[in-house]
Structure 1
Amino acid sequence: MIKALAFVLALVGLAACATPPPQTGDEVQRLAAEIRTLGPGIDPEEADRAARVAYTYTAQLAKEYQITDPPLIHNTKVNRGLRPRGLCWHWAEDIERRLQQENFETLTLHRAIANADNPFRIDHSTAIISRAGDSMYEGVVLDPWRYGGVLFWSPLSDDSRYDWVPRDVVLEKRRLEQVARLKPYVTN
Structure 2
Amino acid sequence: MIKALAFVFALAILGACSVAPSSTGDEVQRLAAEIRSLGPDIDPEEADRAARIAYSYTAQLAQEYEITDPPLIHNAKVNKGLRPRGLCWHWAEDIERRLDQEGFQTLEMHRAIANADNPFRIDHSTAIISRKGETMYDGVVLDPWRYGGTLFWSPLPEDTKYEWVPREIVLEKRRLEQVARLKPLPGT
The equivalent residue for 1:123 is 123
Contact kept in structure 1, 2:144 and 2:152, CA below 8 Å = yes
- Is 1:69 paired with 2:69? yes
Contact kept in structure 1, 2:21 and 2:150, CA below 8 Å = no
Partners of 1:23 and 1:61 in 2: CA distance: 14
Q: Over residues 43-78 of structure 1, what are the superposed CA-to-partner deviations in whole Å (9 max), with x where a residue is unaligned? A: 000000000000000000000000000000000000
Aligned length: 179
Partners of 2:21 and 2:61 in 1: CA distance: 19
- Is 1:92 paired with 2:92? yes
Cα drift, residue 186 of structure 1: 3.4
Partners of 1:146 and 1:136 in 2: CA distance: 19
Partners of 1:101 and 1:23 in 2: CA distance: 22
Cα drift, residue 185 of structure 1: 3.2
Say if 1:24 and 1:58 are closer, same or farther in 2 by CA, change over 3 A: closer
Partners of 1:135 and 1:86 in 2: CA distance: 26
Partners of 2:157 and 2:184 in 1: CA distance: 43
Partners of 2:165 and 2:20 in 1: CA distance: 24
SS of the aligned residue for 1:26 comes to: helix
Partners of 1:91 and 1:132 in 2: CA distance: 22
Trace 1:23-172 onto structure 2 (pairs within 5 A).
25-172=25-172
Matched to 2:185, the amino acid is V
Structure 2: gaps (5+ residues): none
Say if 1:151 and 1:117 are closer, same or farther in 2 by CA, change over 3 A: same
Matched to 1:126, the amino acid is T
Partners of 1:102 and 1:53 in 2: CA distance: 10
Contact kept in structure 1, 2:109 and 2:129, CA below 8 Å = yes
Q: Percent identity at matched positions? A: 79
Structure 1: gaps (5+ residues): none
Q: Over residues 125-176 of structure 1, what are the superposed CA-to-partner deviations in whole Å (9 max), with x where a residue is unaligned? A: 0000000010000000000000000000000000000000000000000000
RMSD over aligned Cα atoms: 2.5
Partners of 2:118 and 2:152 in 1: CA distance: 22
Cα drift, residue 21 of structure 1: 9.1
Say if 1:112 and 1:46 are closer, same or farther in 2 by CA, change over 3 A: same
Q: Which runs of 4+ in 1 moved over 4 A?
A: 19-25
Give TM-score scaled by structure 2 length.
0.88
